[in-house]
Chain A
Amino acid sequence: MNMALNNTDRPNSYIGRSVTRPNALRLLAGKGRYVTDIKLPRMLHAAFLRSPYAHAEIKSIDTTEAAALKGVHLVATGEDLAKLCKPWVGTLDHFRGMKSAPQLPLAVGKVVWAGQAMVAVVAETRAIAEDALGLIQVEMSELPPVVDIDQAREPDSTRIYPELGDNVAFKLTVESGDVKAAFAKADGELEETFFTGRHTAVTMEPRAIIADYNASEEALTVYHATQTPYQFQDLFSRLYGIRESRVRVIAPDIGGSFGMKLHVYNEDMSVVGLSMLCGRPVKYVADRLESFVSDIHARDHRIKTQVAYDASGAILGVKVDDVTAIGAFSTAPRTSVVEGNQVVRLIGAPYRFRDYRADLSVVFQNKVQTSQYRAVGHPIACLVTESLIDRVGQKLGIDPFEMRRRNIVTSDMYPYTSPAGYKFERLSHEACLDGLYKLMDYPRLREEQKALREKGIHRGIGIAMFVEITNPSPAFYGVGGARISSQDGAIVKITPAGEVQCLISVGEHGQGTETIIGQIVAEHLGVDRELVRVITGDTDVTPQGGANWACRGAGIGGETALQAAKKLKQNVLSVAAAILQSAPGELDLINGQIVNRSDRVERIPLSEVARISYYRSDTLPPGTNPQLTAAHHYSPQGYPFAFTNGVQACHVEVDAETGFTKILDLWVVEDCGRIINPMLVEEQIRGGVVQGLGAAFFEECRYNESGQLENGSLADYLVPMACEMPDIKIAHVETPTQDTELGAKGCGEAGTAASSAAAMNAVNDALAPLGASVSQIPMTPQRLLKALGRG
């Protein structure tokens, strides 16, 4: 393992250490406080009547009987909420020509997916609200549903929104070099079509929200299971016309998010209006069945590819046609085209071929919206790229490691711009590949595989390289007009007892943000970690910032905390210097003591500096003005994104009789720059890998031809279980970014980015001697049997 570069023997040296998470103790005692747990005085509960049809006109709604039920306070239709809430549109300017229809909290006039909320009931209890749903009469007339990506694009297809012209949300062509010439000079070419299944986040805590509108102050407080409280402060304010300074969004403990909890949802927007109409707090928690039909889905792509190569195995050029279906709307505020955009821009990213052309079509259909979910686009791009590399290698009889060594962007090529325009500061593909080769003992595995094949046991080894986008600058969303911040803010203060509080805009969802921020502040200020309390997730309390998306907590949030702590340290030293009649430059702060910089002799405790500053400022020399609070905002500068990289390997055994795959091992070598807490990085990787394995083998939202989700329950939609998952071995390479003093990049999505690809390559390696291969995930037993000609 390539450990942190710090001198870990110095007092308060925490960066690079596997310290435990102070806030986990509360969760371990059953004392977490999730939105689902919160109860406010006089709180009411909302439930939603949902469309049974994928596409239908709403002829009439009769709510009389429901409204008359004892315990019901309000029944609201789409028209009722449309009077309060402005429509929103999920488009951004930098995706030229993209379109999407305006959305409202509840359906008005027609419904466009099965499960879309049509009517809201607010009652004393959730059970009563649900009783009342059964009393609402809705007359509907069905329209032909658009479900298929090709059918959706036909000239005579039903238009989901006739006013948009057609069912195509966005088209993009990415072109670099001369792909025609590359194919013309190639020794060989092959083509393959890949399918990735629509799947969804399945956070263990479903979406949850409580809105509490206070008419006398014209103020709104929202307890929201969200990754991005500031983004929702802006949205609630603008869409409901409430002053931004009076909108408070509190994100307490959150039971999983994975990118799913940062989008605008109809129910969430409704609950704000319902609270305004009732004048009381209103709570809504999605039940699991509702989650399946209303949480965003992701990754519904068909990718046609062609690759040209020469006899040495060098990839010369790649052509891609990606069609992705996103549901009936593009999701606000980030849009549903980002995923496809990232797929076509990340294909081939670790490799050095220059001739590339990709066409992307983003298509509407009558299903729930897709949008950003952990590793947005990466798993698809990686699956396509890595499968192509293996397929070419197989044709030419070149080993997968050798294929990659011959094609990767090497360390002498940085800074490097990919054919699709991504700028890489410095990646470590060779070191990662070499590390993986040793970590998995590749030659031994190959020998074992050979021996077992002779006994009719089909094992496969698959590897997959990845790059991952982290630390996004405004180039991601801001430039497109999105009111989504790329900067973060931190306030660090010394309490009168000489302890420390850090209020910061990046949030905690179990990944360990509070812990790493505490490590950074303690180290850069010079105090014991136990004295640092980190506070997150409250727009009235924590400074403005982007919060949690696209792997930015450690890289951007961490740098913000580091700079704030340094600033505060200077302030502390200048007060101490005034007290000690010394100069700030002659002093240092170590372990909560002001010491001489030269000989580290202790002069005065930090607690004493704080006591004097807060309670006895009269004893300070005239003109001393203690500033024991420091604020700092930091936005990425330099490269638009800090790319990380790594490589994964998967080892499987396929049962050719049943089509079942057993995952035997999984290895990851990753480089996320400076590692702040190795244990937390590794747990992010493991959790991410398992989500990618879920996509590879189990997870798929299966729809029928009328646009109905057929497996929308946790009994029918399979997520990985403990008995199906392997132990995951991890090693690190550290290439800190030079753009920040901290040098950290993100690590939350790297696991998911490549594990599906490694798994597919492993399965195909196992199937190869049987003359079969798959190009679709999830790789269910039925699909494997079909590939084997037995289905």
Chain B
Amino acid sequence: MSLILDVDHVGKTFVQGGLLSRREVEAVRDVSFSLDAERPEILSVVGESGSGKSTLAAMVLGRLVPTRGRILFEGGDVAAIRSRAGRRAFMARVQPVLQNPFEAFNPLKRVDRYLFATAANFVVGGGRTRAAIEERVDRALVEVGLTLAEVRGRFPHELSGGQLQRTAIARALIPEPRLLVADEPVSMVDASLRMAIVNLFGALRDRLGLSIIYITHDLATAYYISDRILIMRKGEVVERGAARAVLDNPQHPYSIALKQAVLTPDFG
């Protein structure tokens, strides 16, 4: 069995405050999980605000170095990738979708620059002509329900939250990565589109064999789409397992509280 991702007893401690009010925050403590290369899956990570989900995602993406433990991607230690070529090869295989679409693009720049840069930097072969790049960008945009014509030349504040998030997902798809780390990718979009994006994740998993780490607050979509789930609290995984089994019948008191706090659209 080969692992695409192996997170091995990982922890991260931040130091906050100045010299006088120095305070340590243990954002992630001793988290382990792995993703199997043969069985692409969607792994949901849910948990309270500040429980370290984004920190965990940043470590998987190689943006933060774990204080303890190791993260192996396709057998290699993510923190040990130093060379530029190595980083680039890694980024072509692991791509992020960020939390807040309003912050995910530089407000002073047009959004299409990120799409074109990604296509120009990562898509190898097939010619890097302007036309090929545009074609690739447009194809990715169409996959998320947009077109290049709609996005071209626009600044972030000229697009709605949902449009921005779909653009961000399209950008992440351009290098055809193995692993997508999506940090609350649907929190800004409406139910219908949310289902479209979540269904898109399912299709990417089934069609392209893409593994997806899906960080979310929305337990209903986690239930709907994911194969496994991790429930985090204060940096620790408090419960894990098959998504539906865990959410149908949560064991840990926090998981139970979480499920109870879900707002339902039902009256009665």
On whether the two chains bind one another, the answer is no
Residues of B within 8 A of A (CB): none
Residues of A within 8 A of B (CB): none
